[in-house]
C-alpha cells in the first residue's frame, strides 16, 4: 500500500492569511463605524466623568425602558435619586444597577 503525503502550497497559505487579515480589518472598521454612529445619535451615550446625576429622561433612554416602567420603579422607591428644586435627578449608578438585574418590579 502506498503512503501519500500531503504537501501544502505555501503561496496558497500566504494568500489565505492575507485574505483573513483583510476581512478581519474590514469587520473591525465596520464595527468602529457603527459604534461611532450609535454614540452620535445617543444610543451608546456614556456618562461624563464628573456626572453624578442625570435626568429621568436620560435614564430611561440609556436603559431602553418606557416612561411607564420608570414611573413604576420610582413609585416603589427602587431608583435612587434626589430632588433639586422642583426637578428630580437619578444617580448615574442606577443605570448599571438596572442592567445588573437589581431593579425588578417583582420584588
**Rounded to the nearest 5°, which phi and psi values hold at 91?**
-65, 145
**Rounded to the nearest 5°, which phi and psi values hold at 53?**
-130, 145
pTM comes to 0.48
Q: Among candidates 70, 73, 63, which has minimal Cα distance to 100?
A: 63
User: pLDDT for 60-94, tens place per residue?
Assistant: 888 888 899 888 888 888 888 888 888 889 888 88
User: pLDDT for 1-47, tens place per residue?
Assistant: 455 555 566 666 656 667 778 888 889 988 888 888 777 776 655 55
- Name the strand (E) or helix (H) holding 75: helix 67-75
Residue 60 or residue 100, greater confidence: 60
Task: Tell me the sheet residues that pair with 89.
Answer: 82
Alpha-carbon span 13 to 5, nearest angstrom: 17
Amino acid at each position: 500500500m502506498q503512503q501519500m503525503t500531503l504537501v501544502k502550497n505555501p503561496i496558497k497559505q500566504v494568500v489565505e492569511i492575507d485574505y483573513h487579515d483583510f476581512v478581519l480589518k474590514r469587520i473591525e472598521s465596520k464595527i468602529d463605524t457603527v459604534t461611532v454612529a450609535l454614540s452620535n445619535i445617543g444610543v451608546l451615550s456614556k456618562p461624563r466623568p464628573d456626572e453624578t446625576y442625570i435626568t429621568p429622561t436620560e435614564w430611561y433612554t440609556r436603559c431602553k425602558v418606557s416612561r411607564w416602567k420608570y414611573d413604576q420603579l420610582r413609585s416603589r422607591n427602587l431608583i435612587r435619586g434626589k430632588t433639586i428644586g422642583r426637578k428630580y435627578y437619578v444617580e448615574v449608578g442606577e443605570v448599571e444597577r438596572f442592567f445588573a438585574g437589581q431593579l425588578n418590579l417583582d420584588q
